[in-house]
């Protein structure tokens, strides 16, 4: 039986560099069915039964670009055994926006904080144990370019994939938001596994039309949307985006130490 691991991250996070380092020449390049978005799959070096899938670079699991739709449909429909979420360590705040969404899919996640060589040169420090605790997933530091940490990452990703452990979200948004998410989860049909419910509930609350297309039954969540929008005097999509940034700020405060303040080095 073969294992599938997907590589997901922002554009320029080092996905292709890591993919090439982990698969060598053992790759197949094509297009995703029906669209001109590149599809790349390879065999993980040293693990002959493990396929690595390079997903399109994306900033969000929203439905606004072809790349986002391709990546999320793959993750939802194919359900890889694990996701390697690669983030640019020099731009971690921005990259974590996608990560907070990937954590909600219920698929086991390991985070690879890339560009370790640049971080070290700058004297910046990412406290990976803390980051791991706050995200609820394993975190490793790598330099995809220099090859640092990538064997360890691959071994851990394979172990995680084999474990079949479902990912659970450790972070909670504001109480009023969590209450409405729970209510919405309760309306979802039984064919949606428990660990995937948060993702679908949030997408429905965000009025994501494209997610409705891939759900067998779509509950009416207009009451829940109303309740949230009245409570916050804002639209649900903005409310949830804001909750993600509150969470990300708390992560940055606890997990990142910069040698020089951004304010002093602004250029």
For 220, phi then psi, to 5°, come to: -85, 115
CA distance 110 to 77: 20
Partner from ligand GDP, K ion, Mg ion, none binding residue 90, C-beta < 5-8 Å depending on class? none
Residue for token digits 């560009």? 115
Q: Which is nearer to ligand GDP, 143 or 224 (CB)?
A: 143
- Angle (CA) 189-170-44 rounded to 5° is 85
* Residues in 115-134 that interact with ligand GDP by CB under 6 A: 115, 117-118
φ, ψ (nearest 5 deg) of residue 110? -125, 135
Q: Decide if residue 217 touches ligand GDP (CB under 6 A).
A: no
Query: Going by C-beta distance under 8 Å and a sequence separation of 6 or more, which residues neighbour residue 175?
Result: none
Nearest distance in Å: CB 88, ligand GDP: 8
Identify residues 17-76 at the interface with ligand GDP (CB under 6 A).
Answer: 17, 57
Distances (CA, A) of 264 to 116, 252, 258, 267: 22, 18, 11, 9
Q: Is 11 in the site for K ion (CB under 5 A)?
A: no
Q: How far is the CB of 86 from ligand GDP (least distance, A)?
A: 7
Q: How far apart, in whole angstroms, are the C-alpha atoms of residue 263 and residue 246?
A: 21
Q: Which of 114, 196 has the CB closer to ligand GDP?
A: 114
Task: Please state whether beta strands 27-31 and 82-88 pair in parallel, antiparallel, or not at all (unpaired).
Answer: unpaired
Residue closer to ligand GDP (CB basis): 109 or 116:
116
| CB 112 to ligand GDP: min, Å | 10
Q: Is residue 12 close enough to count as binding K ion by CB under 5 A?
A: yes
Partner from ligand GDP, Mg ion, K ion, none contacting 109, C-beta within 5 to 8 A by type: none
Binding site for Mg ion (CB under 5 A): 15-16
């Amino acid at each position: 039986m073969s294992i599938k691991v997907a590589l997901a991250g922002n554009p320029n996070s080092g996905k292709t560099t890591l993919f090439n380092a982990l698969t060598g020449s053992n790759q197949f390049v094509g297009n995703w069915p029906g669209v001109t978005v590149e599809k790349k799959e390879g065999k993980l070096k040293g693990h002959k039964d493990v396929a690595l899938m390079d997903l399109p670079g994306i900033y969000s699991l929203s439905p606004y670009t072809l790349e986002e739709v391709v990546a999320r449909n793959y993750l939802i429909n194919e359900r890889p055994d694990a996701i390697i979420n690669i983030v640019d360590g020099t731009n971690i705040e921005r990259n974590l926006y996608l990560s907070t969404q990937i954590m909600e899919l219920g698929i086991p996640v390991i985070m690879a904080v890339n560009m370790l060589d640049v971080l070290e040169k700058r004297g910046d420090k990412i406290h990976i144990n803390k980051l791991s605790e706050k995200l609820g997933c394993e975190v490793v530091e790598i330099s995809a370019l220099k090859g640092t940490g990538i064997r360890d990452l691959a071994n851990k990703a394979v172990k995680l994939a084999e474990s079949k452990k479902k990912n659970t979200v450790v972070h909670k948004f504001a109480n009023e938001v969590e209450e409405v998410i729970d209510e919405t989860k309760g309306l979802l049909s039984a064919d949606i596994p428990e660990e995937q419910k948060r993702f679908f509930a949030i997408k429905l609350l965000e009025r994501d039309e494209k997610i409705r297309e891939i759900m067998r039954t779509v509950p009416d969540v207009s009451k829940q949307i109303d309740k949230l929008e009245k409570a916050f005097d804002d639209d649900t999509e903005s409310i949830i985006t804001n909750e993600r940034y509150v969470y990300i700020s708390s992560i940055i405060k606890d997990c990142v130490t910069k040698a020089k303040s951004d304010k002093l080095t602004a250029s």
